[in-house]
Amino acid sequence: MCLEDMLEALGCIPIGPAGRLDEGLRYAHDAALDAAILDVNLGGEQSIAIAEALLARGIPFAFASGYAAAPEVGGAQAAPLIGKPYRESDVEAALTALLDPAD
């Protein structure tokens, strides 16, 4: 199951995906978002600039990657990392942490 299908199954309304850094930056700056899941690599570029734009807007995000650790962004608290291949339980846990951090 692709990420968009998993998100819809969890009751989310996905925006995107963005396959390039410039597309992701447009979403990060302009879209009404509750949270975001960022692939660490977009078309050979890292998504750090997107994460920084989301951080500036106060939008929580998680990274998705096959790497062992998420990159650090602007000295902020570490973003959750969703491993690839995606598992619905991991996506759900990350979204819960992003959208309801009090639990």
Question: Does this model's pTM top 0.75?
Answer: yes
Query: What's the whole-number mean pLDDT along residues 80-97?
Result: 94
Q: What is the pLDDT of residues 20-34, one digit of tens each?
A: 999 999 999 999 999
Q: Provide the CA 68 distance to its chain's centre, in angstroms.
A: 16
Q: Given a cut of 90, is residue 67 above it in pLDDT? A: no
How far is it, in rounded angstroms, from Cα 101 to Cα 103?
5
* CATH architecture designation of domain 3-99: 3-Layer(aba) Sandwich (3.40)
Q: Given a cut of 60, is residue 103 above it in pLDDT? A: no
34 touches 99 (CB < 8 A): yes
Q: Given a cut of 90, is residue 38 above it in pLDDT? A: yes
pLDDT at 76 (0 to 100): 57
Which range has the worst mean pLDDT, 5-19, 20-34, 76-90?
76-90
Q: Tell me the domain boundaries of the chain.
A: 3-99
Confidence tier at 77 by pLDDT (50, 70, 90) = low
Closest CA to 26 of 39, 13, 17, 35: 17
